[in-house]
A and B are shown apart, each in its own frame.
Chain A
């Protein structure tokens, strides 16, 4: 046993690697046992396809003639504002950005039909997008106005850069209040009328590598239908949470920051998304390969929905008020049955993360590896683990007094 990534890559190049998805490995381990499965299998592929708000993309749009300094000015892509605090023609567009004239929640719940995530989807689909800029003008960048169509293929760089994706586990949202609420976890009916969850569970990348033993900075991944990389741990990366005996986090824990060339991605796996009454976001497809370097690593990949537990949180009161209490825990096995029992009441469940999408991504990644088109990478540095001593801090407000 004890393979190395280099050895696995050699097998991939020769077309001899044995690759299975994080679902297929469950049956395989049940049939053959951990030791045999670890000997036979080289790579387990994972996948997840859900709304991930901390996503975005940066662009270098090229220099106009005469030149314009977008930096420090205002830039809009299909009326959605982009961030301009960079050099002359670099802009960053966040998935959650919305047009200045969007009515938002003026009539609640606002529909949030179009935002940054939708612009990213349209660009990836090859559609022209309107760039409108106003700038202050300088001696070297005299122009003050710019209105033009742009297309992804003509940009110098277009890079998807998501600062928090692929959450390792997440809350199950219910609403104990007496009225319907509209959240980033979807529409929650009153009196715990439904329970919404959002994880690929047994297919989710970080739930298959709970201690980040193989996934690290530099790991090559499936991102938005193309190839990307883990750039860093994601924001709010918080490894030191309650875990099951086998190491699986029982709360939201690790996260990934990911990066990749938008030009080779697909609108099938980057979908502009509207959360009624909440805002805009982007549904992102991510798949991470896990090299089977040891029996221990294989055992982690054989985790199943029945063994992964998520906290149930009241979004009517506890979540908005940031109170720590949870209403209990429930397994993804139970959540996927369509109904859970909560405080003596049967509550129908719904997923915001696409399980069929996650399966498809894990299968696509598996195909790429089997065909020798996708080689694994050695992480450049590990992600911070449980031992890193990270605490997920709330904001400590300090009032700003007059004269400060």
Chain B
């Protein structure tokens, strides 16, 4: 069964200089798309990936990452809508490339579907009340 998931990987400083992603792709037959990367020598590294492949390969890949010491988060947690600041205007819906922000045609409320969010952050600055927050 094929699977595609977006994950956030935190690399402790000791792993930053190792070819972890190379092993992940080569040994586990996974396809990856890098959505965001921040790697500085001797500091914690951050990688946001879309990982696709066979379910078994995916699970083995994730186990490999966990075993070597990479901390894994699923992505939805990383863009958070501050509900108290959101005015429900809808300026974000034309900026969001994945449809994670969309208007409910009936209530005209702006829905945030975290499972569709790729944490691209395109919504963050165009949001007039700045309700979309990046949490890592």
Contacts and interface: CB of A to CB of B under 8 A. Distances in A.
A354 B126 contact: no
A348 B93 CA distance: 9
Nearest to B109: A356
B3 interface: no
A51 B128 CA distance: 8
A353 interface: yes
A354 B85 contact: no
Contact of A338 (B91, B105, B128): B105
Contacts of B92: 350
Interface in A100-136: 109, 111, 113
A45 interface: no
B87 A355 contact: no
Contacts of A349: 94
Given A111-B125, A187-B95, A336-B108, A354 B130 contact: no
Contact of A354 (B88, B95, B105): B88
Nearest to B126: A187
Contact of B129 (A111, A283, A336, A350): A283
Interface residue tally on B, bucketed by range: 20 to 34
Nearest to B103: A338
Interface in B82-101: 85, 87-95
A273 B128 contact: yes
Nearest to B87: A354
A357 B88 contact: yes
Contacts of B95: 187, 194, 350
A273 B108 contact: no
Contacts of B85: 271
A276 interface: yes
B107 interface: yes
B93 A50 contact: no
B interface: dominant SS: loop
Interface string B110-133: 000000000000000110111000
A189 B126 CA distance: 12
A50 B94 CA distance: 17
A357 B93 CA distance: 17
B128 A356 contact: no
A349 B95 CA distance: 10
Contacts of A272: 129
Given A113-B130, A274-B130, A348-B94, A50 B125 contact: no
Nearest to B125: A276
B128 to A, nearest CB: 4
Contact of A356 (B93, B94, B107): B107
A275 interface: yes
Contacts of B109: 356
A187 B109 CA distance: 20
A196 interface: yes
Given A356-B107, A356-B108, A350 B94 contact: yes
A274 B107 CA distance: 25
Given A276-B125, A352-B128, A271 B87 contact: yes
Contacts of B93: 338, 348, 350
Contacts of A348: 93-94
A113 B129 CA distance: 9
A229 interface: no
A338 B90 CA distance: 10
17 contacts: A111-B125, A113-B130, A187-B126, A193-B94, A194-B95, A274-B128, A283-B129, A338-B93, A349-B94, A350-B90, A350-B91, A350-B95, A351-B89, A354-B88, A354-B89, A356-B108, A359-B108
Given A356-B88, A357-B87, 20 more contacts: A113-B130, A271-B129, A274-B130, A283-B89, A338-B93, A338-B103, A338-B105, A348-B93, A348-B94, A349-B94, A351-B89, A352-B89, A352-B90, A352-B91, A354-B89, A354-B90, A355-B108, A356-B107, A357-B89, A359-B108
